[in-house]
Amino acid sequence: MWDRVVHLFAGVESHFDRVDGRLVLVAVVFHVANHGLRSLAWRNVLASAHPEQRVPLVGVAAAYAVGVALNAVLPGRGGDAAKLALVRTRIEGSHVATIASTMAVIVLFDLVAATLLVLGVCLSGTVPFAPQLPLADVPGWAAAHLPAAAGAGLVLAGAAVLAVRRARGLLRGLLAQARQGGAILRTPGRYARRVALVQACAWTCRIAVVFLLLQAFGLHATIPTAALVMVLCGASTLIPLTPGGAGTQQVMLAYALGQAASAALVLSFSVGMQVGITAINAAMGLAAAMVAFRTLVPLAALRAGVRLARAGA
């Protein structure tokens, strides 16, 4: 077994020597463009939620970059808390629920786009993607555990009703603030122009990044394959078991691309892409933190960002 592991990692190292650096540089340009476009879309959502305030694009972009960088090194998506806290300091009189709601508006488009992409790729058959799920034992398991599940559900429902009754006033205020964050959704034309179109361009940049990196590592690159890899990389971070989905991402990509290339090549691509993107995000986040916290000392900016993420988590 150890001989296989050593042989696998030796093969991974050899593939890095053949990477096309020119394609990697172009991918970096598209990656930076994706950051800028997503920051612009979020800024437009925030501006609609706070029409009486000036929402600076630079401040939002800095908060976004800091949050992305921290998400790559902190478990539990602590960077999202830093994003929220930083943006709140840029918008006078803003509320946590409102800003969190604007972040949900951005995620809403991502969920719809990812679902449509996966369905399109699977239905087209251009990429083999047919996971085998152990569904045969589900009915028996459900029947055996149904009474306990029903009892637990009733208890939780009763507790939820009591909690809602006691916190009714607080919930009304939070719901009003959350509705404020989704204000742009009430003007579909404006949402389409200022958010959906911008996010669609950002998604195009993200697919281009993966497409170029597939080519750079010598893998067969197609638009459907790049789209599927991008969605899988995003899905690996939904359940934040590890910082940046490390490990989870490698397993998912090994499954999706295993039929098209050797394990060593897929692993070298996966590790190289994750490490490279994490390094770029860290550099952008550190520069943004220095701007956001108004310091020329990188270590001080990093410590301030981590403290902010932990305080908001």
Domain assignment present for residue 182? The answer is no
CA dist 217 and 19 (Å) reads 5
Evaluate whether residue 136 is within a structural domain.
no
Domain count, the chain: 1
Q: Give 99-157 pLDDT, tens digit per residue.
A: 999 999 999 999 899 888 878 777 766 555 544 444 444 445 444 555 555 556 555 66
Q: Which of 9-13, 30-34, 90-94, 268-272 has the lowest mean pLDDT?
A: 9-13
Q: Domain range for residue 125?
A: 2-95+104-130+187-312
Over residues 52-79, the mean pLDDT reads 84
Q: Would you state the structure tokens that stand for residue 229, as one six-digit string?
A: 């890899």
76 within some domain: yes
pLDDT at 240 over 60: no
33, 46, 34, 40: which is closest to 90 by C-alpha? 46
pTM for the predicted model, two decimal places = 0.75
Tell me the C-alpha to C-alpha distance, in Å, between residue 295 and each of 84, 90, 91: 20, 17, 21
Domain presence at residue 260: yes
The better pLDDT of the pair 10, 309 is held by 309
Q: How far apart are CA 107 and CA 117, in angstroms?
A: 15
Dihedral over alpha carbons 43, 49, 184, 191 (to 10 degrees): -10
Determine, yes or no, domain membership for 140.
no
In a domain, 144, yes or no: no
pLDDT in tens, 215-227: 998 888 888 888 8
CA–CA distance, 232 with 210 (Å, rounded to integer): 11
Out of 110-119, 182-191, 204-213, which region has the weakest mean confidence (pLDDT)?
Answer: 110-119
Q: What are phi and psi of 220, to 5 degrees?
A: -65, 115
pLDDT at site 5 = 41
Q: Is residue 201 part of a domain?
A: yes
**77 near 237, Cβ under 8 Å?**
yes
Share of the chain above pLDDT 70, in %: 65
Residue 298 lies in a domain: yes
**C-alpha angle 172/174/180, rounded to 5°?**
105
**What gap in Å lies between CA 253 and CA 249, rounded to an integer?**
6
Joined tokens for residue 77: 């998506």
Q: Is the pLDDT of residue 4 over 60?
A: no
The length of the chain is 313
Provide the sign of the torsion angle of the four alpha carbons 282, 285, 287, 293, taken in this order: negative
H or E, element range at 310: helix 298-312
